[in-house]
Structures are given as structure tokens and as C-alpha cells.
Amino acid sequence: MIGTTRRREQGLADPLLGQVMGEMGLDKVPLYEHQSKLRLEYRARIEACTPLRNGPVGPRRREVTDPVTMAEDIKGRARQFGADLVGMCALHPVMIDEGFDCTFRNVIAFCHHESYDEVLKGPEAVSDEAHRTYWMVAKIATEMAVWIREELGWEAVAHHNGGTYIQAIPVLWQCGFGELGKHGSLIHPEYGASFRPSFVTTDLPVAYDAPISFGVQDRCTVCQVCSNNCPGDAIPEDYIVDMGVKRWLTDVAKCYPYSRLRKEYCHLCVDVCPYNAPNHRDDYRAFMTDRKKYGYKTPKMSDD
Ligand code: SF4
Ligand code: SF4
């Protein structure tokens, strides 16, 4: 199966980031230059997972006659590894990087949620928490891939920030992790968009999950909390419909000056979304007032 979705280059390899840096007269990325000890430690832990993404398969393959029971086993084990969400679906070319030839049929998705209490502490804490969560999901996918290979005797490859050819959003949507919001991230009923994903690709037979709908896409057509609070005015009101799903296309060139080209992490569109903070209205006001110190906009509450 040949992938069809173009991957945006990451970091300094991204030509759009280079273009915006040129326009701002920058030769370094402030966010990348400014790294806490904790973030560097999490990055090192993610890199330590990379050599285990793939590896030798055990000598005895366990034949699977009941994919439903197999899926339940995987989900229980993933939760023991630390996953908050686990789902499975058949791979489709849009879920794979353009031009990559993937031989596997199935993908297993995992998510671990970010703590909203950490979000309320400000940009530094948000960035540290994001890195902790990226490390957790890298660990979960690695442990699962190793278990499938060594204990079940099926090939399995882990995907995370230390290496992937998987396109996250279409897989997470198909696995029933949520609906796509105006801010461009998937929204889950319990965790909002405060979670980070990882994946395992495999031919191990498993029962599939299905997409869910709980009113997000309709709400986003009238709610403006993220777009009103976005410091770069990067979130559009208009949407396109792609394969039956509404998509609001974030203007990445307008987002970069805040999400990459300052030393404070942005992430504000997700942090202010009512699905992230449904029970934290007072905390939210204090949070936004605090964020103003870092140059963000005046807090707005237009979703009430
Ligand atoms: S990360 Fe910040 S600048 Fe980028 S879209 Fe979200 S709120 Fe706007
Ligand atoms: S803040 Fe409002 S418009 Fe933005 S993603 Fe959340 S619900 Fe949708």
C-alpha cells in the first residue's frame, strides 16, 4: 500500500518555517534554542525508543481465531503500559506518508492525556507536559511493538516522535478518538484535544473500532473561542468538507511566529477550547490573564 498524504517537514527542514524566519529576520528558532532540562531529558528518552521501533520476531506465531478477544487483550495491556485511549483500524493510503510503501494491514493507536493542571501553570509547564506526554506514548508504542513481536510472533513497528510514516489525524479519527475541531486537532469527549498519540503497524488480526460523533463539528461552526484567542489570527472561520468531514485549515505561516518563533510555547487554541476546560471557567480566566504577560490577546469568552 503506497501512502498518499504529504508529510510536512519538521523543524528546520520545513521550508515554510525558513520563509517565516527570513521575513522576521531570524536565523534561529527561539523555541528550539530555549529548552528546559526536563524537555531535553524527555527527548533523550524518546530517542532511546527509536532503535526498538522494529526488531526480531519470536519463533512461535500465536494464531488468532478471535480478533475481538485479541483486540481486548491489546487494549488491556496498553492501559497497563499507560495508555488512556486505545483503538484499531485498517490502514488506508491517506493514513501513510506520500510515497511510502507500507506492507501492513492494521494500525493500533494509543493516546496519553496531558494534565490540565500543568496547562494552567503557563507556557513553560505546557511545553514540559507536552514532552512528558510524547515520551509516554513513545514508551507505550515501543512496549506494545516489542510484545507483539516477541510474545505473539507477529511483525510490528512502533511509530512516535522518534520515527514514523503514519499520518496521525486520519488514524485517530477512524479509531474513534474524536471529532476534528476548528483548531485543527481531534477532540475527545473526555480529554478534549489534550492528548498525544503513538501507533503500532502490524498484520496481527484485531477487531476494528469506528469513528464517533458527539456534536463537535456543529459546535465549531458557531463557537469562536480558539479563533478569537489565537494570537496569530491563524484559525479561519471558513471550512472545507473533506471525505464528509469539516476541516478548518490553520494558516501555518501565521501560527509559526507564536508557536515556534518565540521562546514560549503557544498551544493556546487547544488550551482554551471548552472541550478541554469544561469545568474550569474560573481557572480559565486566571490562565488567560496570566498568558497576557507573554503577549497574548485579551481573554475572550464568546462560547457562553
Ligand atoms: S498554536 Fe497559537 S498561534 Fe498557532 S493556531 Fe494555535 S493559538 Fe494560534
Ligand atoms: S474552541 Fe470552540 S471552535 Fe475552537 S475547537 Fe474548541 S469548540 Fe471548536
Three-state secondary-structure class, residue 249: coil
3 alpha carbon – ligand 1 mean position (Å): 28
CA-nearest residue for atom 6, ligand 2, is 273
Task: Tell whether ligand 1 has an atom less than 6 A from the beta carbon of residue 235.
Answer: yes
Ligand closest in space to the Cα of 266: 1
pLDDT at residue 303, as a whole number: 39
CA-nearest residue for atom 3, ligand 2, is 220
Ligand closest in space to the Cα of 183: 2
Task: Tell whether ligand 1 has an atom less than 6 A from the beta carbon of residue 266.
Answer: yes
- Ligand 2, CB within 6 Å, residue ranges: 181-183, 219-220, 223, 225-226, 273-275, 303
* pTM of the predicted structure, to 2 decimals: 0.89
CA-nearest residue for atom 3, ligand 1, is 255
Can you read off the three cell numbers belonging to residue 134?
510524547
The preferred substitution site among 20, 127, 233, 258 for testing ligand 1, maximizing ligand atoms within 8 Å of CB, is 258
pLDDT at residue 164, as a whole number: 95
* 8 Å CB contact between 116 and 286: no
In sequence order, the β-bridge partners of residue 246 are 241
* 8 Å CB contact between 196 and 112: yes
What Rg value do the Cα atoms of the chain yield, rounded? 20
pLDDT at residue 300, as a whole number: 43
CA-nearest residue for atom 2, ligand 2, is 223
Q: If residue 173 lies in a helix (H) or strand (E), which one and from where to where?
A: helix 168-174
Can you read off the three cell numbers belonging to residue 251?
494558516
255 alpha carbon – ligand 1 mean position (Å): 5
pLDDT at residue 118, as a whole number: 81
Q: For residues 102 and 90, what is the distance between their CA atoms, to the nearest angstrom?
A: 12
pLDDT at residue 299, as a whole number: 46
Other Cβ atoms closer than 10 A to 61: 12
Of the candidates 230, 254, 183, the one whose C-alpha atom is nearest the C-alpha of residue 20 is 254
pLDDT at residue 282, as a whole number: 60
Task: Tell whether ligand 1 has an atom less than 6 A from the beta carbon of residue 250.
Answer: yes
Can you read off the three cell numbers belonging to residue 189?
469527549
Other Cβ atoms closer than 10 A to 60: 9
143 alpha carbon – ligand 2 mean position (Å): 34
CA-nearest residue for atom 4, ligand 2, is 226
pLDDT at residue 304, as a whole number: 33
pLDDT at residue 28, as a whole number: 85
From first to last of its 304 residues, the chain has per-residue pLDDT tens of 999 998 888 778 889 999 999 999 998 887 777 788 999 999 999 999 999 999 999 999 999 999 999 999 999 999 999 999 999 999 999 999 999 999 999 999 999 998 877 877 777 888 899 999 999 999 999 999 999 999 999 999 999 999 999 999 999 999 999 999 999 999 999 999 989 999 999 999 999 999 999 999 999 999 988 898 888 899 999 999 988 899 999 999 999 988 888 877 788 888 888 888 665 556 666 666 666 665 555 544 433 3
